[in-house]
Structure 1
C-alpha cells in the first residue's frame, strides 16, 4: 500500500495527468497482452513458478511497467529489473542451470529480499527525481502555453530558454508563466464586461510599449541573424485488417513522454488537437545567407521525422503531414482510450452538441482537444463572443451523384460542407517560417515585401482537398481556419454597421507596416479596421510610435482578448514592466497571413521578427524543404537588391481567393507587379545604410511604372519577356552567382527546379494527388463522400510515400 500510495502521489503531481494515466495505462496493458504475455507457459519454461506465482509476478510487472511508461524516465529501468529478479528469487525459483557456488532455496529467498530492498531504495530515489521532472515538465507545458493556431513564436538565443526561433514562447519568462498559466481555479471573464476588457487591453498596450522602448534601437549583424521553421504532424491509428483509420487522441501525453527523454535535436510542442504535435529544432538555423546551413534544413527535417516515427511507432501510431484531418467530424473519427469518455460519447451519439460544453459541435468531441485549459477556453470564448457557434461553409466538389438539393442532419446546406467547431480549422496543419531581422525597420520592410508572396506560396503548397470526410471544391486550408475562429458578432460581420470588422481574426493582412518610400498609402485600398483613438494616443504619446506602426498595433486591439481569466485582471499579481502576457494574448490571436513579431519580452535576446504563415504542410519532408529554401532565397533577394513587390492589398486578397481553387497552382492567374526592379542599378542597394527606408539614391519607380498584371505562377517564377517581366528566378540566380561559389549554387538547383516544375504541373500538389486518389478509387461512388475504406487507403498510401522511395518518386511524378 505505501508503494501504491507513493506512485499515486507522484502521478497526481501533474494536474493534467488523470487523462494521461488512462491513455497510457490502457494502451500499455493492451501492448503487454498482445506482445509480452500471450502465452504464460513461455514464462514457466524459463523459471519454475506455479500459476499463482506467475499471476502475481505478472501483476507486479504490469504495475511497474505501467508506472515506467507513465513517468517515462529511463533510470527507472533498474528499478524494474531489481523488482522482477527479487520477486522471482523470493518465490523459490528453480533455474534450469547450475550455480557456480552451492545455493539453497533459503539463500535465494534472502537474496530476493535484499533485491526487493534495493528496489525500494531505487524506487524512492527515482520517484524523487521523477517528482522534480514532472514539476519541470508541467512548468514547461504551462510556460509554453499556446495562444491558438497562429502563436508559433520561435526562439533564437543561445541559452536554453531561447534556443530556437520556432519555440520562443515556450519560455518567454517566469513572470508571464505565473500570469497566464494556472487558470484552472479562476473564472473566465464575460465579454459583456467592457470596462474590464478595456482595462486588460490597456495593460497589453503598456506591455508592448515597454518591449518597444527596450528594443527599438536593437541592431543585429547579418551573420548573427537566425531563422526557424516549424512542422505540424497529425497522428493516426490504422487498422489494415478492417481498413479503418482514426485520429489518435494521445498527443498531449506522448509530447510529455518524448520531451522527458530530452532528445538533443527535437522538441515537441502541443497543438490545438490532441491528435496533433508540432516539432521544432532545438537549435536555430543560422542566417538565411549562410547557404550551407540553409541547405541543411532538408537533412534536419528528414532526420526529425525519423526520430519521431521511431518514438510514435512504439505506440502503433502513424505520423503524417496532411494539411487537413480528412476524417475529423465523421462517425468514430477518433480513438478514445478513456472508457468514461468513450461511454459518454456513445451515450450522446447523434446529439453531441448537448454534451459539448465548449464548442457545442454536433460533429467533433470536446475533450479531444489538447487538455491544456487554454484550448478549451479558446473554443468557448470564440463561440460566446460571437453569440453563436461558428459556421464554416466550404463548397463541395460536384460529382455525378453529389447531393446538391436535399438537406440532411449532416449537411443542412446543400452544396456545402458544413462544419461547426474551431477544431475543424485549428485541427489543420501548416508550414510556417520565421525570420529574425537586423532592426525594427528591417522587420517591417520584410513584412511588406513578402506579403504579396503569401498567396503564391499558398497555391503551390495546397494540400487540403478533403474536409469532414467529403471532397471539397477547394484545395487549401486557409478559409476553413479563418471561418473556424471568426468571433465577430453578427453586427461586426455586417458591412453596413458602424462596428463592422472586415475580416476574421484569422485572415489576410490588411495593411502595410513600413515607412519605406515604395510603400504607398493608396496600396491599402481595402476597408481598414476602425481603431480606438485612445489606444492610438497611448501608443503615440511623446511621439513614441509612428503612424503606421501605431495603427498596426492598434488593429490588434480592435479585437477582444480570448480567453481571459479573473486572475489576469488582478493588477496586484503582475507588473507590466516584467511581463508581456496581456499583449501576447492579443498579438497571438490575430492570426494574419504575415505576422509582425516583437521580441517576446523586455529581457529577451531575440530580435524583431516576421512570420510567413500561409503554406499548407507538405506530404514529404523534401517538399517542405523545397518551400523553405525557395522562400529564404526570395527573402535574400529582398534584403540585397533594389526590388519592389508591393501592390494594392485588394489584389493580394483576390489572389488568396484564387489560391483556394482546384489546381490553382497551374490553372489560375495571379495579380503581380510588372516592374519589380529599379532599372539596371538594382544591385546597388542602400537598404542597410538607410535602415530599410530607402533602397537607392534615385527614386525610379514612377507612377507610370506602377502597373499590375495577371500572370501564371510559372511566369512569376521564370519571367515573361514578352511583357518585360523579369521574374524572381533570374534575380535569385544572379544573387547566388554574385555571392557563392559554383559548387554551392549547384546544390541549390535541385530545390529551385522542383519548385518550378511544381508550378508547371510536373510535380502535383498534395491536394491534386489526393483528389486523384479519390476520383480513381474503385470504391468511390462519385458522390463526393470519402468512406472509411477510402480514407484508410489514402492514409496508407501517404504513409507508403514516406517509407518507400519508388512510391515517393511516383508521387513526385518522376515515374
Structure 2
C-alpha cells in the first residue's frame, strides 16, 4: 500500500507546514526521472498481481468469526523467510507487504511473470502457493480468506484478541474501529489521524441498506450496545466533534441513554448517520478491504500512457464483474462493491474543497476523493512524437531514431474525451512544461499534486533529488485511482514504465483471481495487437463507476461503451508486431471478423459514437450492431497466435476467458451475488438485512471451503 518509509512521522499541524516543500521536490524528482529515461524503449511486457487477504479467527464455541490481529505476526514471519532467501542470493517465491489492517496480508509473486503466453500458466499456482504458505503459519482455528470485506468489520467484538473502540481518542476516533485493528507501521495510524485532522472531522460513509421483507422503513440502525462501554461524557464530546456537517445533536443525555434498555438509533445520536443507510466513520472500513490489482511494464513511456487510457475505460466494467462486497458492519447493503466506501474512507477534503463553503483557506474546489476514478487521459500530448512498437522491423531501429516514428494508437485521443475539467496547480504545470513534459502528462501530475502529503517523516525532509523519489511517491502513492501511471524508481534501473489496474475486487477462489488477472493481461495484448480504440468521454467513465457499484449490476445496469473499437481496421497485423503465420498481409479487420469483412465499420455515421450496453453485450458482443465484445476480441487474439501456443496453454487460457465471459452473461454468479444469496438462504436469516454472528461464521467457513475448489462451485 504505497510508500512505506521509516522514520518519525510528523503530526498534521507540523506536516502541513512542509506540504509545499514536498510538492516542489516531488516534481523535481519526477523531472529527473523523466529526463533520464523518457526515451527508454524495448522493455518486455512483464507483469505481476497483488492479492490481499483477511485472516479470520474462528470462535468455535460461540460460532463467531473475528479478524485475527495476530496476522501481523504472520507477516513478520513471511518477511523473515523472504529476507533469508535474499541473503542467500535466492529468489523467494512470493513477496509480502503490510496492508492497512493488522488482520490483513498482501502477497505478490517473488518475481514478475514473463512476457510469453506460456508464463500465464504460473499465475494460479503462484496464488495457490501464497495461500498455502500463509495458512501454514496460522493456528488450526484461523484461516486466510480472499474476501473483499469481512462481514462483521466494525461490529461489536469483531477482533481477536478483543479490542475496544475509543471514540474520544486514537487515530480514527471511531465509534466502531479500535486502534489495535490498524497496522502498527507508523504510516498507517499517521495516515488515519492526518486525514481526519486535515478534513476537520471524521470521515463519513453511508451505504444504502438492502430493504428486505422485514427490514423496517425507514431503517434506523440501533446504536451498538458496545458503545455503552465508552464513558458518556467522552462519547458525547467525540460524537459532537466528529460531525462533518457542523450540527451537534448528541448530548450527554443522549450518550447516557446508551446504558438504557432501549438504545437510541445511530441517526439520533450521530448527525452524519443517515436513515436507511449503514454508517461507517473510519479509514479502516475502506482500506481494510481486500482487492486484486495487476501491474504491467510497458515497452515504453508512450505505450504505458496508451494502456493507461484504454484500460481506464475498462476499470468500471471489470469492477462490476468482480463485485464482492455486499455486506458492511453486519448488514446487507444495496450495493455490491467496496469502491464508494474506500473512496469515502480516505476523503481528506476540507469543507471548502468539497464545495460546502466558499474557498477561503483552501486553494481548490476538488470534485473527487483521493481514492476515485481517473480525472485525465494521458495519451498523447499535442506536441508529442516518438514511440515504440513490438514490430520486429522497428526493433532493429536505433533508439535515437524512434522519435520520428508515430506511436501506434496515439492518434485516437481527442480533447473532447477529457471532459471533466478537473483542477490542477498552474505553477506545477508550468514547472513541468518548462522541464520538457508535454501538456497532458503535465496536467496529470499538476492535478495529482493539488493534494497535500499526508505522511511526512522528519528524517526524510531533505533528500537527494537525483537519487530519491520519496517526495514524489509521497503524493503519487496517496492518489489511489482506478489506474496508476508509475515511473521507474531511480534506484531500480531494470524496471520500466508501468501502469497499475486497480479497480477489481478480490475473488473467493484462486481460480477466479487468476482468471481476472490473466484476462486483463490478454486484453492488454489484444489492445496492442489489434490497435483497439476504447476512448469515451471520462464523464461517461465516471457514470459507469457508479453504475458498477450497484447491486447486481450484471443484470440491472447498462454501461456506456464505444460502438467501434477497432481503431484502424485496414492496418496490417505485421505493422503491429503480430508474429503469427500469414499475418504479413492480413489486416486487423480480417483477423477479427474473418476474410469476408470489408471495412470494419459497424456504425459508419459516427465512428466516435458510444451507446449504453449491458455487461453481457460489452464482454460477449452485440450481434445486432456487429459489436464483437471484449471477450471475443481476446479470443481472436489467441486465435491469431494459436500456432505459437502450446495446446495446454491455450486450453488453460480458454478456461480463464470462459470464466470472465460467463460472469458477464450471468451464467456464473459474481462473488457479491454468491455471498448475498448465502445470507438470504441461511436458516437463521430473518429477512431483516441483518447478518448475525452465526450467519457470518457459516459464511466464512463456506468461503474457506470454496478456496480450493473449481469454479463450478459458484454456478447459479
Contact between 1:642 and 1:685, CA under 8 Å: does it hold in 2? no
Secondary structure in structure 2 of the residue aligned to 1:705: coil
**Alpha-carbon distance in 1 for matches of 2:10, 2:133:** 40
> Contact 2:334/2:551 (CA < 8 Å) preserved in 1?
yes
User: In structure 2, how many angstroms separate the alpha carbons of the residues matched to 1:234 and 1:258?
Assistant: 15
Structure 2 CA distance, aligned partners of 1:645 and 1:495? 36
Deviation track 1:525-563 (CA, whole Å, cap 9, x = no partner) reads 22x332222111211115x10000111111111100112
Question: 5 Å matches for 1:99-114?
Answer: none
- Determine if the alignment matches structure 1 residue 667 to structure 2 residue 556: yes
SS at match of 1:274: coil
Match in the other structure for 1:310:
136
Q: Encode CA deviations 1:111-155: one digit per residue, 9 max, x unaligned.
A: xxxxxxxxxxxxxxxxxxxxxxxxxxxxxxxxxxx43xxx6xxxx
After superposition, the Cα gap between the structure-2 partners of 1:384 and 1:582, relative to the gap in structure 1 and judged at 3 Å, is same
Looking at structure 2, the residues matched to 804 and 514 of structure 1 have their Cα atoms a distance apart, in angstroms, of 42
| Offset from partner CA, 1:68-103 (integer Å, 9 cap, x none) | xxxxxxxxxxxxxxxxxxxxxxxxxxxxxxxxxxxx
Q: How far is 1:495 from its partner?
A: 7.3
Q: In structure 1, what is the Cα distance between the partners aligned to 2:691 and 2:523?
A: 38
SS of 2:501's equivalent?
A: strand
Closer, same or farther: CA 685–364 of 1 in aligned 2, 3 Å = farther
Among 584, 604, 611, the residue aligned to 1:709: 611
Indicate the residue corresponding to 2:316 in structure 1. 455
Please state how far the C-alpha of 1:239 moved relative to its aligned partner. Answer: 2.2
3-state SS of 2:137 partner: helix
User: Which of 414, 430, 436 matches 1:520?
Assistant: 414
2:15 touches 2:455 (CA, 8 Å); kept in 1? no
State the alpha-carbon separation in 2 of the partners of residues 778 and 488 from structure 1: 44
Instruction: Tell whether 2:6 aligns with 1:188.
Output: no
* Distance in 2, Cα, partners of 1:714 & 1:324: 26
How far apart are the structure 1 equivalents of 2:438 and 2:198? 32
Output the CA distance in 2 between the equivalents of 1:320 and 1:566.
37
Secondary structure class of the residue paired with 1:709: strand
Q: Is the 8 A contact 1:640 1:683 kept in 2?
A: no
SS for the counterpart of 1:769 is helix
Aligned twin of 2:36: 214
What is aligned with 1:799? Answer: 704
Query: Which residues of structure 2 form unaligned runs of 5+?
Result: 86-91, 225-265, 268-273, 381-409, 579-586, 589-598
Aligned match of 2:100: 272
Q: Distance in 2 between matches of 1:470 and 1:429?
A: 18
Asked whether 1:426 is paired with 2:240, we answer no
Confirm or deny: 8 A CA contact 2:531 2:568 kept in the other structure.
Answer: no
* Counterpart-to-counterpart distance in 2, 1:297 and 1:511: 31
Match of 1:409 in 2: 223
Aligned equivalent of 2:69: 249
Q: CA deviation at 1:646?
A: 0.6
Q: Which residue of 2 aligns with 1:568?
A: 460
> Structure 1 residues 305, 812: CA separation in 2 closer, same or farther (over 3 Å shift)?
farther
> Hey, what does 2:348 align to over in structure 1?
487
User: How big is the shift at 1:702?
Assistant: 8.4
Q: Does 1:505 align with 2:370?
A: yes
Aligned residue number for residue 74 of structure 1: none
Contact 1:454 1:612 in 2 (8 A): yes
Matches of residues 360-759 of structure 1 in structure 2 within 5 Å? Answer: 360-405=173-218, 406=220, 408-410=222-224, 411-412=266-267, 413-494=274-355, 497=358, 499-515=364-380, 516-526=410-420, 528-542=421-435, 544-569=436-461, 571=462, 574-601=463-490, 603-678=492-567, 680-684=569-573, 686=575, 704-741=606-643, 743=647, 744-759=649-664
Q: 1:675 to 1:284 in 2, by over 3 A?
A: same
Matches of 1:442 and 1:703, distance apart in 2: 30
Identify if the C-alpha distance between structure 1 residues 679 and 550 changes in structure 2 by more than 3 Å, giving closer, same or farther: closer
Q: Is the 8 A contact 2:510 2:708 kept in 1?
A: no
Question: C-alpha distance in 2, partners of 1:198/1:774?
Answer: 50
Does residue 358 of the first structure (1) align with residue 171 of the second (2)? yes
Shift of 1:773: 1.0
> What residue in structure 2 maps to residue 204 of structure 1?
26
| Cα distance in 1, alignment partners of residues 351 and 452 from structure 2 | 15
Q: Give SS of 2:211's match.
A: coil
Task: Show the counterpart of 1:163.
Answer: none
Quick one: structure 1 residues 727 and 362, their matched pair in 2 at CA, closer, same or farther if it must change by over 3 Å? same
Measure the CA separation in 1 of the matches of 2:650 and 2:572.
Answer: 19
Q: Deviations over 1:217-268 (max 9, x none)?
A: 11134xx331000100001000233211110001222111122234731222
TM-score when normalising by structure 2? 0.81
RMSD: 2.4
How far 1:802 sits from its partner (Å)? 2.3
Q: Secondary structure at the match of 1:764?
A: coil
Measured in 2, the distance between the counterparts of 1:579 and 1:684 equals 41
Change (3 A) 1:433 1:608: same
Shift of 1:189: 4.4
Aligned pair count? 605
Choose between structure 1 and 2: higher helix proportion: 1
Q: In structure 1, what is the Cα distance between the partners aligned to 2:564 and 2:414?
A: 15
Residues 361 and 420 in structure 1, CA contact (< 8 A), matched pair in contact too: yes
For residues 627-685 of structure 1, what are the alpha-carbon distances to aligned partners after superposition, in whole Å with 9 as ceiling and x for unaligned? 11111111001111121111011111111111111111233211110011146425547
Alpha carbons 2:367, 2:422 under 8 Å: kept: yes
Q: Deviations over 1:365-421 (max 9, x none)?
A: 012211101000000010011000000110010112223434643532210000000
